[in-house]
């Protein structure tokens, strides 16, 4: 191939990759904004009203009817913060016991729990599970309530589907926080956690396949928070050292870094 031809492929690849990264980042941002709004909905109608104006049926209906706002997410759920001294009464009121995520057995004693009490029907299997009993979910909960921001896990295999994805978490606070609230004040004010999963293996796959014409381009997404140990989030791992392009990705959690790497499906 001529040098001119090669430069053409370099440009085409860069444009296709940048377009896909922008598209994915946009869909991510749209979904995150909507989950943020759901956290405020729970704060207003569940935490802020006595008696509560929200229950599982209303949450399930509202989240099903607004699912189009979160096209890359399998579903959303609300996990309530329960201290150990409240556990007995809480379980009696709910009519179930708080369970561990992986064993599905009644949870051993901890200082506090985060059992899911409301869920979109698509992830109804989370109800009664203590989200602090999963390592990735627990890390997210701690970081979300101390920061007041939407936070993401690294890539891991999601419950039930076993698809590769990441979980998004926002803390729900009992009252609106002053903008200068300290981490301790935020942690104290947290009453629960609103979140859900981005399914890279099926929903992001759909989005990217829609875009690629006849499989012209191979896309990988990496979590590069630890730059020397990139974690694959999407696509098949590839050791090919041919022509590739890296497009930046910002999924909105400053603690994590991501990038998209694209290559042409056919060698040039
Ligand atoms: N949502 C969906 N699938 C999952 C998952 C999850 N977490 N964890 C593992 N598989 C209720 O942070 C609160 C959702 C977590 C929110």
Domain locations in the chain as residue ranges: 25-203
Verify whether ligand 1 is closer than 6 Å to residue 77 (CB atom). Answer: yes
Ligand 1 atom nearest to CA at 194: 13
250 Cα to the center of ligand 1, angstroms: 21
Ligand 1 atom nearest to CA at 119: 11
Verify whether ligand 1 is closer than 6 Å to residue 116 (CB atom). Answer: yes
Other beta carbons less than 10 A from residue 67's beta carbon:
17
Mean pLDDT of 91-97: 98
Cα–Cα distances (Å) from 28 to 4, 74, 183, 188, 266, in that order, read: 36, 13, 26, 29, 29
Q: For position 124, what pLDDT does the model report?
A: 98
Q: For residue range 11-41, list pLDDT tens digits in order.
A: 999 999 999 999 999 999 999 999 999 999 9
Residue with the larger pLDDT of the pair 215 and 50? 50
- Of 1-15, 34-48, 246-260, minimum mean pLDDT range: 1-15
Ligand 1 atom nearest to CA at 193: 13
47 Cα to the center of ligand 1, angstroms: 20
Verify whether ligand 1 is closer than 6 Å to residue 46 (CB atom). Answer: no
ipTM above 0.85, yes or no: yes
Please give the Cα distance from 186 to 151 (Å, whole number): 15
Q: For position 213, what pLDDT does the model report?
A: 67
CATH architecture of 25-203: 2-Layer Sandwich (3.30)
Verify whether ligand 1 is closer than 6 Å to residue 117 (CB atom). Answer: no
Cα–Cα distances (Å) from 24 to 10, 139, 141, 172, 236, in that order, read: 21, 24, 24, 26, 18
Verify whether ligand 1 is closer than 6 Å to residue 193 (CB atom). Answer: yes
Whether 214 shows a pLDDT value over 60: the answer reads no
The overall average pLDDT reported for the chain is 95
Other beta carbons less than 10 A from residue 124's beta carbon:
14
- 51 burial type by CB count under 10 A (0-12 exposed, 13-18 middle, 19+ buried): exposed
Ligand 1 atom nearest to CA at 168: 12
Verify whether ligand 1 is closer than 6 Å to residue 158 (CB atom). Answer: yes
Band the pLDDT of 216: cuts 50, 70, 90.
confident
Using most ligand atoms within 8 A of CB, pick from 126, 127, 130, 191 the residue to mutate for ligand 1: 126
Whether 70 shows a pLDDT value over 70: the answer reads yes
Among 233, 267, 217, 229, CA closest to 20? 217
């Amino acid at each position: 191939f001529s040098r001119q031809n090669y430069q053409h492929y370099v440009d085409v690849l860069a444009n296709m990759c940048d377009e896909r990264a922008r598209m994915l980042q946009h869909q991510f941002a749209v979904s995150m904004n909507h989950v943020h709004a759901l956290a405020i909905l729970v704060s207003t109608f569940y935490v802020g009203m006595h008696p509560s104006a929200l229950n599982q049926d209303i949450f399930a209906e509202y989240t099903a009817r607004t699912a189009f706002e979160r096209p890359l997410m399998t579903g959303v759920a609300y996990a309530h913060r329960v201290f150990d001294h409240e556990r007995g009464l809480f379980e009696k009121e709910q009519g179930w016991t708080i369970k561990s995520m992986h064993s599905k057995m009644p949870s051993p004693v901890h200082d506090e729990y985060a059992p899911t009490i409301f869920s979109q029907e698509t992830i109804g299997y989370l109800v009664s599970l203590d989200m602090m009993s999963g390592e990735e979910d627990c890390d997210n909960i701690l970081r979300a309530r101390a920061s007041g921001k939407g936070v993401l896990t690294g890539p891991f295999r999601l419950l039930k589907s076993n698809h590769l994805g990441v979980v998004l978490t926002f803390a729900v606070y009992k009252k609106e926080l002053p903008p200068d609230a300290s981490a301790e004040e935020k942690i104290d004010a947290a009453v629960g956690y609103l979140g859900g999963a981005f399914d890279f293996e099926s929903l992001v796959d759909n989005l990217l396949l829609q875009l690629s014409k006849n499989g012209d381009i191979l896309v990988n997404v990496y979590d590069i928070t630890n730059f020397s140990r990139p974690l694959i989030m999407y696509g098949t791992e590839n050791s090919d050292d041919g022509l590739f392009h890296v497009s930046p990705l910002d999924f909105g959690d400053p603690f994590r870094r991501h990038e998209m790497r694209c290559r042409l499906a056919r060698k040039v």
